[in-house]
Copies of this chain bind each other. A is one copy, B any other.
Amino acid sequence: MERVYRTHYVSQCTKELAGKTIILNGWVQKRRDLGGLIFVDLRDRSGLVQVVFNPDISPEAVAVAEQVRSEYVLAVEGTVVERAPENVNPKLKTGEIEVYGKAIHVFNPAKTPPFMISDREEIDESIRLKYRYLDLRRPKMLETLRVRHKAMQVVRRFLDKHGFMELETPMLTKSTPEGARDYLVPSRVHEGEFYALPQSPQLFKQLFMVAGMERYFQFARCFRDEDLRADRQPEFTQIDIEASFLPAETFQELMEQMMVEVFKETIGIEVPTPFPRLTYQEAMERYGSDKPDLRFGMEIKDLSSALENTSFKVFANTIQHGGKVKAVMAEGCADWSRKEIDNWNKAAQKLGAKGLAWIAFKEEGVKGSVAKFLSEKEVEAIREITGAKTGDLLFFVADQPDLAAQVLGQLRLQLGEKLGLIDENAYRFAWITDFPLLEYSEEDGRYYAMHHPFTMPVEEDIPLLDREPGKVRAKAYDMVLNGYEIGGGSQRIYRREIQEKMFRTLGISPDEAKEKFGFLLEAFEYGAPPHGGIAFGFDRIVMLLAKRNNLRECIAFPKTANATCLLTDAPSPVEKEQLDELHIEIKSRARV
């Protein structure tokens, strides 16, 4: 072949090209020999096409084609020919044609891969990660990275259009012991000193606001050296956004529009706006979660008012001691077996409940673990509050309000899935607002900032900072989607006196504040504008867009749950000379 590089992508080979001579490049998906002909399915980034080698056309090409195997890299010169109607393959975009091969060039042979390049096979994940370069050839993985690419471009265009500047922040930065555990980087030049990889560009983006950039964004790589749950990665990508002189509502509307464009342009889904807004309290009460899955109803109901005088002592006592009796309804499940119900009971206990009470609304009346204790009036009130009909099953949890809500929130998700109530094609966004500003740690006997100590309190709650810090609400807002928190943001404190009050509440002395956040506090003395922002978990958004099950499917080269890269074997031992230069040594076990 004189020329080896492609004239067309394979997916461009349609009827319109019939009769044309073309050159294709790609990988052999499959070779079959049939009646003296050789059929090669050739794959490139765009799809698949069938190439036929016929000794009547080119015996030389057939001789080469006979040698090729799966995943060989080829150039093929051939003519596009329309298939006879009975040979059309409707499953293939190029199924109306085939290419009659005239010449073939083998760029590279290939060993037999450890798994077929196909979405149909279930492959052990460790094999997939070790051979990630083959795994990424599979259509679903390619498609996921395509979605990722596309979403990135849409976000950037949107933010650029709205005057946000893409600005980079340092990766080698300062360790801040609050928050998650830092990844540290020893310094060669500064003996005994360390950089830290950023957990987020939070402080830098606030500095950009002090610097008058007004609107900033960045796809920021962030690092947290935490014990990895199934669905966490030590490094992850965050869409980091901050704006000055913008009311929170306007900012939120912008972020909604951005999501609308991402979903429309990436996967063709129309997302309605405005997104519903739920306060944290409302979300906890109705869904038992601060990231409710709104693709189905099955809201949690508070039955405490109906049951405060019930003869069932567990309920009555709980209510009397400040607890609540809450319930979720499994519609049409009144006929579930004792065994099945008992499994849900176990699930509830695993989630921290003392137990799960239940009643079934049957034709013959109300049955179940607490049925006999309930008066007719109480049953009527329950019907009223829950809307229960004959055939429904109701699960109760009686406990402290938060715990009852959380347990039922989890059960709601599991029941919703079990009952097929979740529309996998639905995308239900919401904002969760008015988070508590502070969390009390019984262990440390102090309050901690629920987001970070720069989150602005709701103005009318500021006086409460002294008296009842636990009741202060934050000007914080999370964007949630289908049960995931995909973004967390807030308005920031920009006035010195409020910041000082906040530190006092957190028990952080002025000296300590200076040591930890000195440069930010100093910056705030030189004219800080009102500002706020958000950070989206980009890997998570891609996961939802591409309908994948975990974050590892959405990252080209992810780490395992113990932070290893199976492809490169990172982390790995290094030369002693490297450590010497960094003025560190490995602590021998003996001395630990």
Query: Contact residues of A with B, CB < 8 Å?
Result: 5-6, 25, 27, 43-45, 71-73, 107-111, 113, 131-137, 142, 145-146, 148-149, 152-153, 156-157, 160, 165-175, 177, 181-197, 203-204, 207-208, 210-215, 221, 223, 225, 234-235, 237, 244-247, 250, 494-495, 519, 523-530, 555-557, 559, 562-565, 567-575, 578-587, 592
Asked if residues A525 and B110 are in contact (CB atoms below 8 Å), the reply is yes
Nearest chain B residue, comparing its CB with the CB of A164? B149
Asked if residues A568 and B173 are in contact (CB atoms below 8 Å), the reply is yes
Name the B residues within 8 Å of A153 (CB-CB): 156-157, 160, 166
Smallest distance from the beta carbon of A567 to chain B beta carbons, Å? 6
Docked CA distance A259–B523 (Å)? 37
Q: Interface centre among A6, A134, A211, by most B CB within 10 Å?
A: A211
Name the B residues within 8 Å of A184 (CB-CB): 185-186, 574, 578-579, 582
Name the B residues within 8 Å of A565 (CB-CB): 170, 172-174
Nearest chain B residue, comparing its CB with the CB of A564? B190
Known: A213-B136, A568-B519. A193 touches B573 (CB 8 A): yes
Task: Give the residue of B44, B133, B169, B171 whose beta carbon is less than 8 angstroms from that of A207.
Answer: B133
Smallest distance from the beta carbon of A396 to chain B beta carbons, Å? 42
Docked CA distance A452–B519 (Å)? 41
Asked if residues A211 and B137 are in contact (CB atoms below 8 Å), the reply is yes
Task: Give the residue of B71, B188, B519 whose beta carbon is less than 8 angstroms from that of A527.
Answer: B71
Asked if residues B557 and A221 are in contact (CB atoms below 8 Å), the reply is no
Name the B residues within 8 Å of A193 (CB-CB): 571-574
Can you list 16 A-B pairs with a CB-CB distance of less than 8 A?
A108-B527, A111-B526, A134-B211, A135-B211, A137-B211, A137-B212, A153-B166, A168-B555, A174-B569, A175-B570, A175-B578, A186-B584, A187-B571, A193-B573, A194-B571, A580-B592
Q: Interface centre among A135, A136, A572, by most B CB within 10 Å?
A: A572
Name the B residues within 8 Å of A575 (CB-CB): 177
Asked if residues A27 and B212 are in contact (CB atoms below 8 Å), the reply is yes
Asked if residues A72 and B133 are in contact (CB atoms below 8 Å), the reply is no
Smallest distance from the beta carbon of A456 to chain B beta carbons, Å? 13
Nearest chain B residue, comparing its CB with the CB of A192? B586
Asked if residues A71 and B174 are in contact (CB atoms below 8 Å), the reply is no
Asked if residues A149 and B165 are in contact (CB atoms below 8 Å), the reply is yes
Name the B residues within 8 Å of A563 (CB-CB): 172, 187, 189-190
Task: Give the residue of B110, B174, B223, B525 whose beta carbon is less than 8 angstroms from that of A568.
Answer: B174
Smallest distance from the beta carbon of A585 to chain B beta carbons, Å? 5
Asked if residues A192 and B573 are in contact (CB atoms below 8 Å), the reply is yes
Known: A27-B212, A171-B197, A172-B559. A165 touches B185 (CB 8 A): no
Name the B residues within 8 Å of A526 (CB-CB): 71, 110-111, 113, 131, 133-134
Task: Give the residue of B132, B181, B196 whose beta carbon is less than 8 angstroms from that of A581.
Answer: B181
**Other 16 A-B pairs with CB < 8 A, given A189-B563, A204-B556:** A45-B214, A73-B528, A108-B528, A110-B527, A133-B210, A136-B213, A145-B213, A153-B156, A167-B556, A168-B237, A173-B570, A174-B569, A182-B578, A192-B586, A580-B592, A584-B584
Asked if residues A494 and B584 are in contact (CB atoms below 8 Å), the reply is no
Asked if residues A166 and B149 are in contact (CB atoms below 8 Å), the reply is yes
Docked CA distance A583–B590 (Å)? 12
Smallest distance from the beta carbon of A565 to chain B beta carbons, Å? 7
Asked if residues B111 and A6 are in contact (CB atoms below 8 Å), the reply is no
Known: A212-B45, A246-B5, A571-B190. A494 touches B195 (CB 8 A): no
Docked CA distance A247–B527 (Å)? 54
Asked if residues B5 and A170 are in contact (CB atoms below 8 Å), the reply is no
Name the B residues within 8 Å of A578 (CB-CB): 175, 177, 181-182, 184
Docked CA distance A122–B136 (Å)? 53
Asked if residues B136 and A212 are in contact (CB atoms below 8 Å), the reply is yes
Asked if residues B171 and A212 are in contact (CB atoms below 8 Å), the reply is no
Asked if residues A556 and B166 are in contact (CB atoms below 8 Å), the reply is no
Docked CA distance A165–B133 (Å)? 16
The 9 closest A-B pairs by CB, nearest first: A110-B527, A136-B211, A193-B571, A174-B570, A71-B527, A187-B571, A174-B568, A25-B245, A133-B211
